[in-house]
Each structure stands twice: as C-alpha cells, then as structure tokens.
Amino acid sequence: MTAYDNVVDALRTAGLKVTESANGARSQCPAHGSRGLTLAVRNNPRNPDGPLHVTCFAGCETEEVLAGLGLGFRDLYDGTVHRRGQSTPRERRMPSPWDLIPDPDHFASRCLQQEQLEADPTYQQHLRDLAEWAKPRSGDFVGRGVA
C-alpha cells in the first residue's frame, strides 16, 4: 500500500470528507475539525519516493494532522507504511471529546451541550485518555509541546 493510499484511507475511515483529483486529495482536516476541505494530500512529482505532502491550509502542523489519524511521519514514505490496526499504542488515534457530540461542526451545539457533556462519565474518561495520550514518553518525536 502506498503512503498516499494509506493516508486517504485513514481520512475516509475517520469519517472525513475526501475528494480526489489528478493532483491528489483534498479533505477535511482531522487536526482542527474543519468543515471545508483545508487538507491537501499529494505526492511530490519531483520526489516520488516521498515524503508525501500532507498540508493543512489552516496552519495545522503535519504532526498534528497525522496524530489525528493515528499515523506518524514514517507513514509519509511508501516503503515504511505500517498496517493500520497493528499500530503501537503511541500511534493510536488521539481521542477527541468532540467525538461525543452529534454535530461537531456546529459551534452552538458545542456550547449548549458543554455542561451536559462535562457530567458524562464517557466524556470524563475521554479527558483522562486525552491527558494520558498527551504525556511525553521516552523516545517521542521532539516537537511542539513535548519537552
């Protein structure tokens, strides 16, 4: 499986809207929850061996976009794509509290349901998972926010 196919498949599996053209794919961004297709996924024709270009025009870091899909930097290269489902715990999809909201695109619905959400044990578990996920671990990629 190519890096491109793997990333597009991961975007679709995450329930994001994806359109494909000859130039690559456009998708909603898994990192900032965009409604529009702000994410571009394309191979560099001058460097077919990679890395795959994964660019959010709203400014998300590639690392954040990949983390939102349970992927890592090595998944940008055709030769090192690992099979999803066999990923290590570090690479699992970051849980999002917004997963619990029926209409995550609608800002008002976030506000209205915030109180109800905070009382929900599943949401509280999500927050604990999130905190656990965000903890730096030895061997982590050293990037923004990781000491």
Minimum distance, C-beta of residue 80 to Zn ion, in the bound complex (Å): 24
Strands (E), the chain: 18-21, 24-27, 39-42, 53-56
DSSP H or E stretch at residue 108: helix 107-118
Report if residue 32 touches Zn ion, rule: CB under 5 A: yes
The residues facing 91 across adjacent strands are: none
Report if residue 33 touches Zn ion, rule: CB under 5 A: no
The smaller minimum CB distance to Zn ion, of residues 25 and 29, is found at 29
The smaller minimum CB distance to Zn ion, of residues 73 and 82, is found at 73
Minimum distance, C-beta of residue 79 to Zn ion, in the bound complex (Å): 27
Q: How many C-beta atoms surround the C-beta of residue 51 within 10 A?
A: 16
Region of 47 (left: φ > 0; alpha: ψ -120 to 50; beta: rest) is: beta
Q: What interhelical angle do 107-118 and 121-134 show, nearest 10?
A: 100
Minimum distance, C-beta of residue 67 to Zn ion, in the bound complex (Å): 12
Minimum distance, C-beta of residue 50 to Zn ion, in the bound complex (Å): 21
Report if residue 10 touches Zn ion, rule: CB under 5 A: no
Which positions lie near Zn ion, rule CB under 5 A? 29, 31-32, 56, 58, 60
